Every structure is written in structure tokens, then in C-alpha cells.
């Protein structure tokens, strides 16, 4: 199997072809914007509804536009002249946000509806949609010792309410725009992407960042306790951002994956309790644990079956969780110190 350094991609793109990245003020889209810029692509248009000063990453030399893509006219403007369109724009966050703001999550379907139609009308060659493992049937995720989810497990459909259903119906839009209108679409189902430059406080953060922040807060305050949502037995796999970005590039430019949803995630399963223990070891502390059974906790278990991606790409995300968490903790620790000093930090 290929290592990240061994991956070669035939993008069929000229250096001056226009790449449009929607949701670029956020974590994953900001990272993919920087990725393509560092590869030498000279025309990148980054779009997000957040005001420019609030973007997680601003890449010099990239056209950056603050527009709400749930408005049709803005979607049309965003993709003018685009060769490729990457749609990461969505109202989302960790489980606390997903369970409490289902209507906002559902409304993200407006972005994909307008953006994919505008991309087709503009003559874009390829369109990428960032889906989620939340699209999978929740009946298969009731045990922490969950069987890893295969791509076929999305049907019969019983997605997570709100966010999961939005992702599943948007996947269908992508498949039908290819089948009926000939727009080449690509779909990746993300499994808990984490790493530097992601949300780490404010209510939208996911478990890896939340645990890092809580450990830092305990150390800073001297109150050596940590609150854990649920009973700590819930299991997940977490995919490091560098693997995610490389996976997106490969999936977008693979002819075997046109209009075909595919998992993009690590298969390294870990419980919430063990994730806390990992962060404690990284930080060199031991905390008293308090469990909140009434807090949002999502499904009991979820893991990524990577059989399909290994078969098609001869590759899968392989960054060990320990390695990724060490990098993430170090970055959040610096953010925490900067915030305490009154400097601007990343949040949502």
C-alpha cells in the first residue's frame, strides 16, 4: 500500500485553471485551499459566508470572497469560470452542534442545490461534495464494538437526524447530476476529521479538540477534573487532516470514483475514555473524570471500513492517532496561550 509520499495524481489540470473552494473559511476547506496553492495552482477562488477576518486560514494570493452560498445568485457568481468546484460549505460542528441545531444542518442542502446546478451551468469539469459518516444507517451503530461501516451501509437509509439526512440527499443530487446532466461528481464520506487549524472551542468542536482544550483548562485552572459526555464507552475513528486533504485530491481525480460515495477515514477505533487517556499522556497529567449521561453523545460506535478505498487507490489514511493528537495538542496549546494573551485565535 502506498505511503502519502508515494502518491502520484494525474489531475488533468493546468496551473491557471480556476479551482473554487466553498466553505474555505473553515477547517477542511481552508486546508485544501492551502494545499492546492502550495502545489503551484495560481487561480484559486475561496468562498465562505463568514467575514474575512473570521476565516480560519487566509492564503496569500488566493481570491477570497465573503458570500452566503445558500443564495442562488451568490452560488452562480462563485463558480464563474471554474474548472473544478469543491463544496465543503455547511453549518456543522461536533455532536453538541449537530444534535442541537438540526434545522441549521438541514438548511445546508440549499448550498449544494444551488452550487452544483451553478457548476453544471458554468461548465465545470468536476464537482466534489464533502459528505459524512453521519449519512450511515444508525441502526448499525448501536454497539461500541461496532462493525466497520462499508459504503453500502448507507442503505436502507436511516441517517442521523438533520445533518446525516442532508448529506445523504446531497449525495443523491451529485449522482443524478452525473447520470442525467453529465457533470462529473465525486463524493467522500468523512469520518471525524481533526488536526491543527480546526475549531477547538465555542460549541462546534469535535471530540479530539474538545479533549485537548478541557485538559488545558484543567491545568490552567488547577481544577483537575474533566467532564466527559456520555459514559466514555462510545467509540469512533478519527482521520488526521493531512490524510484527509490528500485523500480528497485522489478521490476527485479518480475515474473509478465518479458519482460513487467512498469512505475517507481512519480505521483505528478508540473509545472516548481511551481518547481522554491519550491526551492525558500527551499533556503529562491525570484528571478526575466526571460523566454527563444527558449530554449529546451520538451513536454508540462508528468506524470506517477501508476495503473499498484500499482497492481503488492502493492507499488509506494511515497517520496514527497518537501522532496526530500530539500535533493537534501542541497547536491547541499555543492557541490557548494566545487566546489568554488576548490574541486572535481559531474558533467558530
Return d(Cα 234, Cα 270) in angstroms, integer: 8
Distance in angstroms between the alpha carbons of the first and the last residue of the chain: 37
Answer with the residue of higher pLDDT: 236 or 346.
236
Runs of H (alpha helix) within 182-289: 207-221, 241-252, 272-283
Question: What is residue 95's predicted lDDT score, i.e. its pLDDT?
Answer: 65
Query: Could you report the per-residue pLDDT of 49-72, keeping only the tens digit for each?
Result: 999 999 999 999 999 999 999 999
Tell me if 299 sits within 8 A of 138, measured CB to CB. Answer: yes
**Catalytic-labelled residue, pool 56, 163, 177, 336:** 163
Query: Could you report the per-residue pLDDT of 114-126, keeping only the tens digit for each?
Result: 999 999 999 999 9
Answer with the residue of higher pLDDT: 53 or 100.
53
Question: What is residue 213's predicted lDDT score, i.e. its pLDDT?
Answer: 97
Q: Is the pLDDT of residue 97 over 80?
A: no
Q: Is 163 one of the annotated active-site residues of the chain?
A: yes
Query: Could you report the per-residue pLDDT of 242-301, keeping only the tens digit for each?
Result: 999 999 999 999 999 999 999 999 999 999 999 999 999 999 999 999 999 988 878 999
Enumerate domains of the chain plus CATH numbers. 4-195+239-264 (3.40.50.720)
Question: What is residue 347's predicted lDDT score, i.e. its pLDDT?
Answer: 65
Query: Could you report the per-residue pLDDT of 191-232, keeping only the tens digit for each?
Result: 999 999 999 998 888 999 999 999 999 999 999 999 999 999
**Mean pLDDT score, 81-103:** 83
* 85: confidence class by pLDDT, cuts 50, 70, 90: very high
Q: Is the pLDDT of residue 99 over 80?
A: no
Amino acid at each position: 500500500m502506498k505511503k502519502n509520499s508515494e502518491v502520484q495524481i494525474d489531475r488533468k489540470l493546468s496551473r491557471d485553471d480556476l479551482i473554487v473552494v466553498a466553505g474555505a473559511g473553515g477547517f477542511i476547506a481552508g486546508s485544501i485551499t492551502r494545499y492546492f496553492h502550495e502545489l503551484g495552482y495560481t487561480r484559486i477562488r475561496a468562498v465562505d459566508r463568514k467575514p474575512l477576518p473570521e476565516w480560519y486560514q487566509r492564503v496569500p494570493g488566493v481570491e477570497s470572497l465573503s458570500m452566503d452560498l445558500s443564495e442562488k445568485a451568490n452560488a452562480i457568481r462563485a463558480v464563474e469560470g471554474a474548472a473544478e468546484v469543491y463544496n465543503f460549505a455547511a453549518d456543522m460542528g461536533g455532536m453538541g452542534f449537530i444534535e442541537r441545531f438540526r434545522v441549521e444542518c438541514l438548511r445546508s442542502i440549499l448550498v449544494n442545490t444551488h452550487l452544483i446546478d451553478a457548476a453544471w451551468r458554468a461548465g465545470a469539469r468536476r464537482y466534489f461534495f464533502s459528505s459524512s459518516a453521519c449519512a450511515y444507517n444508525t441502526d448499525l451503530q448501536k454497539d461500541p464494538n461496532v462493525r466497520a461501516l462499508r459504503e453500502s451501509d448507507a442503505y436502507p437509509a436511516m441517517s442521523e437526524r438533520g445533518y446525516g439526512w442532508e448529506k445523504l440527499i446531497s449525495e443523491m443530487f451529485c449522482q443524478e447530476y452525473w447520470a442525467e446532466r453529465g457533470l462529473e461528481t465525486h463524493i467522500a464520506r468523512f469520518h471525524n476529521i481533526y488536526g491543527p487549524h480546526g475549531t477547538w472551542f465555542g460549541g462546534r468542536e469535535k471530540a479530539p479538540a474538545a479533549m485537548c482544550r478541557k485538559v488545558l483548562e484543567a491545568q490552567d485552572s488547577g481544577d483537575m477534573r474533566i467532564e466527559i459526555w456520555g459514559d466514555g464507552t462510545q467509540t469512533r475513528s478519527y482521520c488526521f487532516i493531512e490524510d484527509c486533504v490528500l485523500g480528497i485530491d485522489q478521490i476527485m481525480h479518480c475515474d473509478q470514483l465518479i458519482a460513487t460515495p467512498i469512505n475517507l477515514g481512519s480505521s483505528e477505533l478508540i473509545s472516548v475514555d481511551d481518547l481522554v487517556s491519550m491526551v492525558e499522556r500527551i499533556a503529562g497529567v491525570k484528571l478526575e473524570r466526571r460523566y454527563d449521561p444527558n449530554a449529546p453523545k451520538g451513536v454508540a460506535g462508528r468506524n470506517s471500513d477501508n476495503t473499498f478505498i484500499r482497492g481503488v487507490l492502493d492507499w488509506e489514511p494511515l497517520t496514527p492517532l497518537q501522532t496526530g493528537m500530539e500535533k493537534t495538542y501542541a497547536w491547541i496549546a499555543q492557541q490557548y496561550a494566545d487566546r489568554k494573551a488576548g490574541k486572535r485565535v481559531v474558533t467558530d
